[in-house]
A and B are shown apart, each in its own frame.
Chain A
Amino acid sequence: MEPMIIRRVLQVLSWIALAMTIGPSLMMLCGCGGIDQKTMQNMMLGATIGWFIVTPLWMGREKPRLQGSEPSA
């Protein structure tokens, strides 16, 4: 797979992890989904692990260039 596409996929996964970090507490506040505090805490922990596994794979690393593309001025 193209490095650029892998990067995009990883970024999407990071965004999902971030959404999962805040989402459960927001759901608990809104009272939707019948989520209790223990479930919310477990979801947050899962999202945290996901964020710290996936994000270092792309954040702070040089962006791969598309094949044949020239650096812009």
Chain B
Amino acid sequence: MSEEQASAGSDIVNEFEREPVPKSSLLGFKSFVGMYAGEHCAGTELMIGPLFVANGASAFDLVVGLLVGNALAVLSWMFLCAPIATRVRLTLYYQLEKICGRSLVSAYNVFNGVVFCLLAGSMVTVSATAVGVWFDFPMPGLSDILPNSYGWVVAVLAIGSVISIVAAFGYETVSKFANIAAPWMVLVFLAFGFIALANFVEATDTTINTPGDLWTLANTEIWPDVEPLPGQPDFGFWHVAFFAWFCNMALHVGMSDLTVFRYARKSWYAIATSAGMYVGHFMAWIAAAALFANYLYSQRPDEGMVSLLVNHGNGQYTAAELADTPLTAKLLREAMEIRAELPQDTLTDAERNFSIPTVAPGPLAYGACGLAGLLCVIIAGWTTANPTIYRAGLAFQAIVPRWSRFKVTLATGALATLAGLFPAIAMKILEFLALSGMMLMPMGAIVFVDFWLLKKFGMQSNYAELSRSSFNLAAGLTWFLTMGTCVALVKFAGIQIYFVSLPGWFLAAVLYVIISKLYQRKIHEGAAE
């Protein structure tokens, strides 16, 4: 295999880099359905669903929140991204270069590349949890930041190296394999949900004859309205809805998918994204959430926890009761509080180190579907990490085009592998996705305002191109000020990261209009003098 083969895989992303897509190359509706359905059923879905449960989301929060959030995501593709894509038919990078100038686009590329690297790292983490089932090393916990065992380090390095080398050499081959795996993978995800549900039906001795029975089971046993696991944020309906809306914010509101929809004959083809959203971000998340709920339900407090609750508690529990009680966030919190209050030297080893459930897709999938489940985790992680590393490589390579794509992709893969060693990225993937969307979102607002509004306000669109500037100060300031304000809102005003991007988008739009007005006038006055 050669470097040329690797570059051939960039197909839809890499063609017509600096020119509008010609009519003869436009694609039909079905191409977009297939692409989105496959691309949004990834290894990370097996982290996201369980994290909703760990964060205490109820059945209503989860089901209705995902229905609403995914609908908003599809509408964002349809009404923000695709209308510009089908009118301009340029890649996001080229469009941004015209608006922002080459230097600013380079900064954006570095940001984008780093985000893709970290995301690929979390996919490597997911795959490594599957290797853990075979080699039986301890899985990282929900609050772990650093690698927790040598076995974990070796597994991540091994998987990351293979993925990186394959990404550098054979994007095309993995892309074909991903297409073949996609229908099977979707059904294995669905099977996760069916098996979890079957286990709940059996464990609770429930009979399901109507959708109402199913909803009651979901509300009372699978995802009851409970507190989150210790150390996790408390999720409600709006958290789930906003997360579903904004987890792909860089793609729709952030306009990355201009690069994809420039091939669409009509802008309404963007409704095809619903295939990805409702398969990957609805069905797969709910199935993975059911699987984790089933795992929690099957767990019982261990010896150390029972000892803390029975011997040092307020007499609320007996050992016999606890032996038959599913592990809940409430029990965990109470045991942790008791442990923190007691002098450490009075605790036994078991009390000091009682086990806390962790979100590990490998063991979860293996428990439900056996080897087929384990293969699904590895393949889902691998097939999605591969193009992610490749795209990160493209973003970095755009900064210095003379760099070899092979070496850049390999180095990017090494960076992603390094990121994968730290379980914090995967365990905090909800926050990470919300944060990365917030950081890339202002550029989408800039593209939107530049295309639809600037001329109406008497200003020039594509100002960097017209003024031959390599750094449009108005766009640069808008980006940095919006990010700064959003971070300040999260840090000091108590707005959670999941919600801050919505006001952030309007702020970016207003800032870009105001700063452009000042900046373009100043430049013109300078030129007139």
Contacts and interface: CB of A to CB of B under 8 A. Distances in A.
A56 B179 CA distance: 10
A48 interface: yes
Q: Which 10 A-B pairs have the closest CB atoms?
A: A41-B370, A25-B191, A44-B372, A25-B194, A29-B198, A22-B187, A48-B372, A29-B194, A21-B187, A28-B198
Contact of A59 (B179, B195, B370, B371): B179
A17 B180 CA distance: 13
Contacts of B375: 48
Contacts of A45: 370-372
Interface string B251-293: 0000000000000000000000000000000000000000000
24 contacts: A18-B187, A21-B187, A22-B187, A22-B190, A24-B191, A25-B190, A26-B194, A28-B198, A29-B194, A29-B197, A37-B195, A38-B370, A41-B369, A41-B370, A44-B370, A44-B372, A44-B373, A45-B372, A48-B188, A48-B371, A48-B372, A52-B181, A60-B176, A60-B180
Interface in B159-204: 176, 179-181, 183-184, 187-188, 190-191, 194-195, 197-198, 201
A44 B374 CA distance: 11
Interface string B126-166: 00000000000000000000000000000000000000000
A28 B195 contact: yes
Nearest to A50: B184
A25 B190 CA distance: 9
A18 B182 CA distance: 11
Contacts of B195: 25, 28-29, 37, 40
Given A41-B372, A42-B370, A45-B370, A21 B184 contact: yes
Majority secondary structure, B binding face: helix
Interface residues of A, number: 25
A24 B176 CA distance: 28
A68 B29 CA distance: 31
A11 interface: no
Interface in A6-54: 17-18, 21-22, 24-26, 28-29, 31, 37-38, 40-42, 44-45, 47-48, 51-52
A21 B191 contact: yes
Contacts of B179: 59-60
A22 B183 CA distance: 11
A56 B181 CA distance: 10
B343 to A, nearest CB: 45
Contact of B184 (A26, A37, A48): A48
Interface residues of B, number: 21
Interface in B359-400: 369-373, 375
A52 B178 CA distance: 11
A21 to B, nearest CB: 5
A31 B179 CA distance: 33
A42 B372 CA distance: 8
Q: Which of A42, A48, A52, A56 has the most CB of B within 10 A?
A: A48
A18 B183 contact: yes
Given A41-B371, A45-B370, A45-B372, A28 B194 contact: yes
A31 to B, nearest CB: 8
Contact of A55 (B180, B197, B369, B370): B180
B516 to A, nearest CB: 47
A38 B372 CA distance: 12
A40 B371 CA distance: 11
B503 to A, nearest CB: 43
B180 A44 contact: no
Nearest to A43: B372
Contacts of B201: 29, 31
Contact of B188 (A40, A44, A59, A60): A44
A44 B184 contact: no
Contacts of B373: 41, 44
A14 to B, nearest CB: 9
A37 B198 CA distance: 10
B188 A21 contact: yes
Contacts of A60: 176, 179-180
A25 B198 contact: yes
A54 to B, nearest CB: 10
A73 to B, nearest CB: 15
A52 B372 CA distance: 12
Contacts of A28: 194-195, 198
A69 B334 CA distance: 75
**From A18, A22, A24, A25, residue with most partner B Cβ within 10 Å:** A25
A44 B183 contact: no
A37 B366 CA distance: 11
A55 B185 CA distance: 13
A37 to B, nearest CB: 7
A22 B180 contact: no
Given A18-B187, A22-B190, A52 B370 contact: no
A6 B375 CA distance: 28
Interface in B177-235: 179-181, 183-184, 187-188, 190-191, 194-195, 197-198, 201
A22 B190 CA distance: 7
B185 to A, nearest CB: 10
A24 B201 CA distance: 16
A44 B369 contact: yes
